[in-house]
Chain A
C-alpha cells in the first residue's frame, strides 16, 4: 500500500498551519504565566451589543489559563499527530478547518468573561464537535453518533441559555466577573434553584454526566486524534469548566453539594465498571473519561482547599495521560489495524516508543509513584476525607473507581504490549512515525516530570486555579510525592491491591459484565426509541393537521377561531351588550345590506363565476365602508386587491368543472352552521372590542409627529415607510418569497428533468 508514500508527502501547508497556530497560541499563553501566578487577573473587553449589555470580554485567571494552556498545548500535538494520521486523506483540509475552528471556539469558551459570549463559544464547540464526530459521514454509525451528540448537548445548551439569561437578570449584568463578585446574594435569591437546574442541565449534558452519558462513547466514531482532543482533554471538560467558573457564586448550598456529589460519584463508579466491560481499547478509554469527568464534578461539589487542589491537579493529570493514551491507541490502530484488546499482544518489540509512552501514561493513570497521577490520587483521597457530603460515600466511590482505573490501565496499556497476542492482527505491527509519537511521548513524559518536580505546577497553575475557585491562593495545598504515612497513602495501597485483583480477573469479569449489561436498561437503545417516538408524534400531528385538503384546512382554522374566541368569551363572561344603533345612518345600512346580499349569493349560487363576483361585491362593500369612515388609503388598497383576487381566482376557477353536476343539490349543513357560527362569534368579538374605549396614545403620537419629524401628511403611508419601515421591509420580503414559492410550484411543468409532467397529473385531477 502507498500509505508511507502518502505520509511522506503529508498535507503540505494545510497540515502544518494549524500546528503553528496552536503552538504559537501556547507560547503566547505561556507569556501570561508570570502575571497570573503572581495573582493578577487580566481582562480585555470590546463592546459587542451594547444595547443589550453584551460585550466581548475575556478574562485570564488561573482557571482559564490552565484550560487555555491544555487546549493549545495538546492541540498543537494533536494537529501534528493528525497531519500524519490522516495523511493524504482527500478531506484533510476540511478536517483541519473543523479542528482548528474547534480549538479557537474552546479557547474562546474558557477565556470569555461574558455569559452570552461564553454561550456562543459553547455552541460553536457543539457544532464543530458534531462536524468532527460526523467526519466519517459515509457510515450510518458516524452520522448517528454525530446527531446524538448534537441533540444531547444542544438540548442542554438551550437550558443553559435560559439559565444564563435568568442569571443575567438576577445579577443585573452578563459579566461573569461582576456576577461572581456578588457573593452570597445569588445563593439567597429566589431564582437560585431554577438557575442552578438549568445551568447544570447544560453542564451535565456537555460533560456527559449520568444519565446523559451515553453520547460520549458513541462519539468515539470520530477519528482518534479528535477523540483525544475533544472527547477527553477539552470539550467534554467545558461543562466541568463552567461549573468551576461558577463555583464561587454557586457552591456552598446543599443542593449544589449533593447534586454534584451524587451525579459525579455515580457517573465515576458506573463508568469505570463499564470501562472494564469494553474490549475495544478506544471504547474503554471513553468510559474512563466519563469516570474522570464524574470525579471532577464530584470535587466541584466541595469547598475545601484539599478538594479544590485535588480538582486542579486531577484536571491536569487526566488531560495529560488521557490524551496521551488516546493517541497511543491511534498508533496501535494505525500500526496493527485493530483496537480489539483480545487480539492485540506482544507489541512492545515492534512498537518500542509507543510502548514507552503507553507505559508512562498508564502508570500515571493507575496512580503509581512517582507519577503526577499518584499525587493527584493522594490529593483526591485527602479531599474526599474532608468532603462535606458524606466522606465515607465519596471515599468509597473513589476507591472503587480508582481501582477499576488501574485495571483498565492494565488492559489498555499493559496487555497489548507485554502479553502474548490473543489472535492474528490484520497486519504486521509497525512503529508509528515520529510525528505520531511526539504527542504521546511528550504528554507521558510530562506526567513523570511534573510528578518528580511538582513545584513546577504548584505556584504556576495549581495555586492560581484554586484562587479562582476559592478566592485565595492560600487555600491551595502542597503537591507532594511523599506526605508521610497517612490515610490517603493507606487508601492508595488498598486501591492498588484491589485494582491488581480486578485486573487479574478482568477477562472473567468482562464476561459477567456483558451478561449483566443485557439485563440492564440500555440508554443508547432508549435514545433510539425516544427519537422514534418523537418522529412518530411529528408524523401523527402532521397527518392530522396537514391533510392536504383545502376544505379541512379551512374547517380547522374556523373551528379554532370559533372555539378560541367564543370559548374565551363564554369562559370570561365577556359577552357584549346590544350596541347603540342610534348613530347608524341609511348609508351604513345600505352598505350592510349590500355586503350581506353578496355573501348569501356566494353561498347559494351553483356557478363559480357568480360566486366569485358575489364575493367581489362583499369586498367592494367593505372598501366602501372604509371610504365612509375616512380611510381612503385602505379603501383603495382593498379595492385593488379585491379586483386582482377576482381576476386570479377566476383564472383558476374557470378551468374547473361546474359546481353542480347536472341536477344534484350541493347541500352542506355542517359548513353552513360553521359559517354562521364563525360570523356570529366575530361579530360579537368586534362588538366587545368596541365597548372598550379606544386607546389614542399611538394615534395621537403619529398625528403629532408625522409632519414635523417625518415630513409627511399621509399618516398611513408615513407609518408604512418611515415609523415602521422595518416591519414593512419584513412584509415585502414575505410578499417576494410567497410569489417566488407560488411561481416555483406553478412552473413544475416545464423544467422536469425526468420528463415527469405535472400537467398530466393536474389534467387527471380535473377530469
Chain B
C-alpha cells in the first residue's frame, strides 16, 4: 500500500505499540496484560509496518527471522519451567527472588514466572509474524 500518511504514522505508531506491548507484558502479573496480550500487541506493531511499508522493510526492521523468535521463546519458556527442578521443586513451579526486600517493602520481584511469560510473549509475537509475513508474501 502506498500511502505517505500511513507510512509516516506507522513509524511513530509501531514503536509505541512495541513499547506498550512490553509494558503490558511486565504489568501482567497484577493488572490486565501478560505475555499473550503483549505478544499480540507487539506483533500488531510489525503487522502495521508490513502493511504500510511492505514485508521486506518489516523483515529488515525485525532483523531476526520471526520463526526463530517463536522457537527461541518456546525454549525460554521451557528453561523457565526446568529451572524449578534445580531448586528441587516440580517442573514449572514458580521460583521467586525479591531483590532488596526489607521488612516493609518487598523490593523488586524477579521470578521464573516472568521469564516464562517472556517466553510466551516471544512465541506469540514470532508465530503471528511468521504467519502474516508469509501470507503477505506468498498469496
Q: Which residue of A636, A717, A732, A733 is within 8 Å of B29 (Cβ)? A: A717
Q: Is the C-beta of B124 less than 8 angstroms from some C-beta in chain A?
A: yes
Specify the chain A residue showing the minimal Cβ separation from B78. Answer: A729
> Which A residues touch B32, using CB under 8 A?
632-633, 636, 714
Known A-B contacts A739-B126, A743-B67; A652 and B116 likewise in contact (beta carbons under 8 Å): no
Known A-B contacts A726-B91, A729-B92, A739-B127; A717 and B28 likewise in contact (beta carbons under 8 Å): yes
Give complex CA distance A738, B33 in Å: 24
Known A-B contacts A732-B77, A736-B127; A637 and B36 likewise in contact (beta carbons under 8 Å): yes
Q: Is the C-beta of A393 less than 8 angstroms from some C-beta in chain B?
A: no
Tally A-B pairs: CB < 8 A: 142
> Which A residues touch B134, using CB under 8 A?
742-743, 746-747
Please state if B70 and A725 are interface contacts (CB–CB under 8 Å): no
> Which B residues touch A740, using CB under 8 A?
67, 70-71, 130
Q: Which of A713, A735, A738 has the most chain B CB within a 10 Å cutoff?
A: A735
> Which A residues touch B4, using CB under 8 A?
none
Shortest distance between the CB of B99 and any CB in chain A (Å): 13
> Which A residues touch B36, using CB under 8 A?
637, 720
Q: How large is the interface on B (under 10, 10 to 19, 20 to 34, 35 or more residues)?
A: 35 or more
Q: Is the C-beta of A648 less than 8 angstroms from some C-beta in chain B?
A: yes
Please state if B81 and A729 are interface contacts (CB–CB under 8 Å): yes
Q: Is the C-beta of A712 less than 8 angstroms from some C-beta in chain B?
A: yes
Please state if B92 and A651 are interface contacts (CB–CB under 8 Å): no
Q: How large is the interface on A (under 10, 10 to 19, 20 to 34, 35 or more residues)?
A: 35 or more
Give complex CA distance A749, B137 in Å: 11
Please state if A722 and B139 are interface contacts (CB–CB under 8 Å): no
Q: Is the C-beta of A182 less than 8 angstroms from some C-beta in chain B?
A: no
Q: Which residue of B29, B47, B67, B116 is within 8 Å of A714 (Cβ)? A: B29
Q: Which residue of A721, A733, A735 is within 8 Å of B116 (Cβ)? A: A721
> Which A residues touch B126, using CB under 8 A?
736, 739
| Stretch from A206-214, A638-646, A695-703 at the B interface | A638-646
Q: Which residue of A640, A718, A728, A749 is within 8 Å of B40 (Cβ)? A: A640
Give complex CA distance A714, B123 in Å: 21
Specify the chain A residue showing the minimal Cβ separation from B28. Answer: A717
Q: Which residue of B35, B67, B96, B132 is within 8 Å of A721 (Cβ)? A: B35
Q: Is the C-beta of A710 less than 8 angstroms from some C-beta in chain B?
A: yes
Q: Is the C-beta of B120 less than 8 angstroms from some C-beta in chain A?
A: yes
Instruction: Encode A558-586 as 1/0 by CB contact (under 8 A) with B.
Output: 00000000000000000000000000000
Give complex CA distance A743, B131 in Å: 6
Please state if A710 and B113 are interface contacts (CB–CB under 8 Å): yes
Please state if A652 and B29 are interface contacts (CB–CB under 8 Å): no
Q: Which residue of A636, A655, A733 is within 8 Å of B74 (Cβ)? A: A733
Q: Is the C-beta of B53 less than 8 angstroms from some C-beta in chain A?
A: no
Instruction: Encode B3-36 as 1/0 by CB contact (under 8 A) with A.
Output: 0000000000000000000001000111111111
Please state if A725 and B40 are interface contacts (CB–CB under 8 Å): no
Identify the B interface with A (CB < 8 A).
24, 28-37, 40-41, 43-44, 47, 51, 67, 70-71, 73-74, 77-78, 81, 91-92, 94, 96, 109, 111, 113, 116-117, 119-120, 123-124, 126-128, 130-132, 134-139
Known A712-B30, A722-B94; 17 more pairs at CB < 8 Å? A637-B36, A648-B135, A651-B132, A651-B136, A710-B113, A711-B109, A712-B29, A714-B28, A714-B31, A720-B35, A721-B29, A722-B113, A726-B92, A728-B120, A729-B81, A740-B70, A749-B138
